[in-house]
Amino acid sequence: MSAIERYEVPRDVETAAEILRGGAVTILAGGTDLMPQSKAGRVSFGKVLMNIRRIPELMGVAEADGMIRIGALTSIADLLELDTVGRRLPVLWQAADQFASGQIRNMGTIGGNICNASPAGDTLVPLLVLNAEVELASKAGGRLVTRRVPLRDFLLGPGRTARRPEELLTAVAVPVPPDGFRARFAKLGTRPALDISTVSVAVGAVVRGGAAEDVRVAFGAVAPRPIRGPRTEATLDGRPLAKAVIDAAAEVAHDEVTPIDDVRATAWYRRQMIHNLTKEVLSHVAAA
Amino acid sequence: MSLLREIRFTLNGVARQVSVPVTMTALAMLRDVLHLTGTKYGCGEGECGACTILVDGRSVNSCVMFAVDCDGRQVTTIEGIAADAQWQPLRESLVEHGGVQCGFCTPGMVVQASHVLSRDPHADRQAIKRGLEGNLCRCTGYKKIVDAVVAVADAGGKVAP
Ligand SMILES: Cc1cc2nc3c(=O)[nH]c(=O)nc-3n(C[C@H](O)[C@H](O)[C@H](O)COP(=O)(O)OP(=O)(O)OC[C@H]3O[C@@H](n4cnc5c(N)ncnc54)[C@H](O)[C@@H]3O)c2cc1C
Ligand code: FES
Ligand code: FES
């Protein structure tokens, strides 16, 4: 049963924001979360279904003022094909490469992945390590206004974000990583394709003269939302990425995460795997 | 009663116009409204690839796509691929290699394989295996299907028309 009264296909952000101001709008991008979730009865539609896939402003990647801005409609497949992502944000590329299947990558968008706010959302973990900010547009006092929110403040819990109902996520912006920044993502599932991450880890750092600086660690599927690991980061900051340091950091990571038991894995197993993956990813960053 | 929307799109090269409920899947539109039943309903959740179609040249799972989003697009189904001489070698190769048993996964496999080969006519075995990751087969054990697609790729992906 659907209570949808109107179907809208805006051609620009301004019109989309105007429609959102009217309230009770369900936004449709690739539909790869919305369709299964609505069929399963886990989400119900608002009065208006708004398809944002015909808005050119939400497409494409651009670099300006030290930020790389990725349009909300950029598909996971696009991320793999965009030279900017492959060269400048390889950690995001790695997550896209391990995402679902070819078909889902062709449909699913980065904006949808962010707004769906799954604890296991695969682009979210590298985006946290890249200090990403989301760009939100809305209509206020007859004008289009935008605000930027750090991703770590935007994600609140499973399926919950700081997006106000009248806001459209227009892009995700990532500061150009500093010189010498190396980062890596790894996820664990029961099979390579089409598996929701049991756990995932991304680590980034500037390795200079042997020591790691600006260390950033993020974990997926071990908390109600993808999280940064400040305690793990602190054990690494300013230290050489030697085996003893990596082992110590993996121990801290093991204790820092707060996973749950569910159908995919037990909390105990998740902690062990966070330990192992953190070690693996750090060793790769050290060797890069 | 669900809200209806009239959409126009190109289906296997032919302009179509159809009225669909706004929450209908592209798969339900193809099978139940347009009676093109080559595209299969397997899982209905994006997991098995039996429902794979091409939209603007990109392969997608029609079971998680909203039918209304086909508006203005070029849609190709297995019926379109079947009528296209370019893919004759792929079909023959699947038969020769024994890549078809019950046949339920076959339409989705063929559409996805055509997509992989269109993007890279010389795709290697690894690329082909990765390209077919989203297509499940309960019968063949995959090897014969992959062999069949590899044989076409070794031959350059296509024959001259
Ligand atoms: C078989 C299968 C496998 C999957 N595998 C993975 C995986 O490996 N890793 C992973 O992370 N995810 C996976 N997913 C989940 C899903 O594909 C991704 O989250 C995808 O990125 C969602 O994008 P979409 O464009 O399809 O979103 P949609 O379904 O269109 O939207 C998702 C949600 O975000 C909202 N929304 C979308 N865009 C915007 C916007 N611009 N502004 C405001 N709100 C918006 C929608 O209203 C909806 O609530 C999988 C899904 C399926 C069906
Ligand atoms: S029926 Fe669509 S992927 Fe299984
Ligand atoms: S041949 Fe039976 S599912 Fe593949």
**Could you tell which of A9, A26, A27 is best to mutate to test the pocket of ligand 1, judged by most ligand atoms within 8 Å of the CB?**
A27
Q: Which of B3, B64, B115 sits opposite A7 (nearest CB)?
A: B3
Rounded (5°) CA angle B38-A7-A173 = 90
State phi, psi for B123 to the nearest 5 degrees.
Answer: -50, 140
Q: Are A9 and A160 in contact (CB under 8 A)?
A: no
Q: Does B89 or A2 have the greater pLDDT score?
A: B89
- Predicted confidence at residue B37, as pLDDT, reads 98
pLDDT at B160 over 90: no
Which residue's CA is the nearest one to ligand 1's atom 12? A121
Q: CB A36 to CB B45 under 8 A?
A: yes
pLDDT at B51 over 90: yes
Sign of CA dihedral B73, B79, B82, B85: negative
Which ligand 2 atom minimizes the distance to the CA of A103?
A: 3
- Predicted confidence at residue B159, as pLDDT, reads 45
pLDDT band at B1 (very low <50, low <70, confident <90, very high): low
Residues of B in contact with A194 (CB under 8 A): 47, 133-134
- Tell me the pLDDT tens digit for each residue of A114-134: 999 999 999 999 999 999 999
Class for the domain spanning B86-154: mainly alpha
> What's the mean pLDDT in A252-257?
96
Strand arrangement, sheet containing A61-64: A61-64, A67-71, A168-175, A133-140, A143-150
User: Which residue of A101, A105, A191 to mutate against B (max B Cβ within 10 Å)?
Assistant: A101
Residue of B nearest to A5 (CA): B3
> What's the mean pLDDT in B111-128?
96
Candidates B43, B44, B130, B37; CA nearest to A97 is: B130
Interchain CB contact of B60 with A (< 8 Å) = yes
Q: Please tell me the number of the ligand nearest to residue B148's CA.
A: 3
The CA distance from B9 to B21, in Å, is 16
Residue ranges of chain B that CATH labels 3.10.20.30: 4-80
Residues of B in contact with A1 (CB under 8 A): 2
pLDDT at B158 over 60: no
By CB atoms closer than 10 A (0-12, 13-18, 19+), residue A146 is: middle
> What's the mean pLDDT in A152-181?
97
Residue of A nearest to B70 (CA): A53
Interchain CB contact of B73 with A (< 8 Å) = no
- Tell me the pLDDT tens digit for each residue of A38-79: 999 999 999 999 999 999 999 999 999 999 999 999 999 999
Mean pLDDT over each residue of chain A, to the nearest integer: 94
Interchain CB contact of B120 with A (< 8 Å) = no
- Predicted confidence at residue B161, as pLDDT, reads 38
- Predicted confidence at residue A2, as pLDDT, reads 54
> What's the mean pLDDT in A166-195?
89
Residues of B in contact with A102 (CB under 8 A): 59, 112, 115-116, 130-131, 133-134
Candidates A77, A70, A74, A75; CA nearest to A130 is: A70
The CA distance from B147 to B124, in Å, is 11
- Tell me the pLDDT tens digit for each residue of B72-110: 999 999 999 999 999 999 999 999 999 999 999 999 999
**How far A128 CA lies from chain B's nearest CA (Å)?**
27
pLDDT at B116 over 70: yes
Q: Which of A5, A31, A106 sits opposite B3 (nearest CB)?
A: A5
Side chain identity, residue A119:
P
Residue with tokens 């105007």: A18
> What's the mean pLDDT in A270-281?
95
- Tell me the pLDDT tens digit for each residue of A193-205: 666 778 999 999 9
Task: Specify the fold of B4-80.
Answer: Ubiquitin-like (UB roll) (3.10.20)
Question: How many percent of chain B have pLDDT more than 90?
Answer: 94
- Predicted confidence at residue A155, as pLDDT, reads 98
Q: CB B49 to CB A101 under 8 A?
A: yes
The CA distance from B20 to A102, in Å, is 27
Give A40's contacts (C-beta < 8 A, 6+ positions apart): none
Residue ranges of chain B that CATH labels 1.10.150.120: 86-154
Token pair for residue A48?
A: 């208006």
- Tell me the pLDDT tens digit for each residue of A16-39: 999 999 999 999 999 999 999 999
pLDDT at A184 over 50: yes
Question: How many percent of chain B have pLDDT more than 70?
Answer: 96
Task: Tell me how far the alpha carbon of residue B103 lies from the centroid of ligand 3, in angstroms.
Answer: 5
Size of interface A-B (CB pairs under 8 A): 87
pLDDT at B46 over 50: yes
Residues of B in contact with A192 (CB under 8 A): 133
- Predicted confidence at residue B154, as pLDDT, reads 83
The CA distance from A95 to A203, in Å, is 12
Candidates A34, A32, A29, A37; CA nearest to A9 is: A29
Residue of A nearest to B60 (CA): A103
